[in-house]
Amino acid sequence: MKKANLIAAATAIAASTSTFAEPMLITDWNFKNEAGFSSWTSEGSGTNPVTASGSSSDFGPSILSTGSLPDNLCWGDPVTPAGQSCLRINSFVDQNTTQTWDEDGNLVDINGGAPQGSAQTVDRGMDYNAAFRQGAALRHDNYPVTGEFLDTVTIRDGIHLQAVTPAGAEVIAPELEFIVDFWETPNVGLDAEGTCPFGPPSGTPDSVNENGCADVFKIIGFADGEGTDLNVVDSGPGFVDFSVKFKVGGVDASMWHRDYELITRLSGLDVVFDDGQVGFITRERGVNVLNAQFANRAFVVRAIDAPEPSTLAVFAVSLLGLAGFSRRKFK
> According to the model, what pLDDT value does residue 222 have?
64
Mean pLDDT is highest, among 119-133, 144-158, 230-244, for: 144-158
- HEC readout, the chain: CHHHHHHHHHHHHHHHHHHHHCCECCCEEEEEEEEEEEEEEEECCCCCCCEEECCCCCCCCCCCCCCCCCCEEEECEECCCCCCEEEEEECCEECCCCEEECCCCCEEECCCCCCCCCEEEECCCCCCHHHCCCCCEEEEEECCEECCEEEEEEEEEEEEEEECCCCCCEEECCCEEEEEEEECCCCCCCCCCCCCCCCCCCCCCCCCCCCCCCEEEEEEEEECCCCCECEEEEEECCEEEEEEEEECCCCCCCCECCEEEEEEEEECCCEEEECCEEEEEECCCEEEEEECCCCCCCCCEEECCCCCHHHCECCCCCCCCCCCCCCCCCC
Mean pLDDT is highest, among 52-61, 113-122, 168-177, 215-224, for: 52-61
Query: Average pLDDT in the 227-251 region?
Result: 75
> According to the model, what pLDDT value does residue 61 have?
94
Contact 30, 118 (CB under 8 A): yes
Contact 119, 96 (CB under 8 A): no
> According to the model, what pLDDT value does residue 69 have?
97
pLDDT tens, residue by residue, 66-117 = 999 999 999 999 988 999 989 999 998 999 999 998 888 889 998 889 999 9
Where is average pLDDT lowest: 42-56, 83-97, 99-113, 246-260? 246-260
**Confidence tier at 223 by pLDDT (50, 70, 90):** low
Instruction: State the Cα–Cα distance between residues 205 and 155, nearest whole angstrom.
Output: 33
> According to the model, what pLDDT value does residue 180 have?
85
> What mean pLDDT is reported for the chain?
76
> According to the model, what pLDDT value does residue 134 have?
87
Contact 163, 169 (CB under 8 A): yes
Q: Of all residues in the chain, what percent carry a pLDDT higher than 90?
A: 20
Instruction: State the Cα–Cα distance between residues 326 and 180, nearest whole angstrom.
Output: 10
> According to the model, what pLDDT value does residue 320 have?
33
**Confidence tier at 292 by pLDDT (50, 70, 90):** low
> According to the model, what pLDDT value does residue 174 have?
74
* Closest of 266, 284, 224 to residue 138, by C-alpha: 266
Q: Which residues contact 87 (CB under 8 A, 6 or more apart)?
A: 37, 72, 73, 74, 138, 139, 140, 141, 150, 153, 323, 325
Radius of gyration (C-alpha) of the chain in whole angstroms: 23
> According to the model, what pLDDT value does residue 317 have?
31
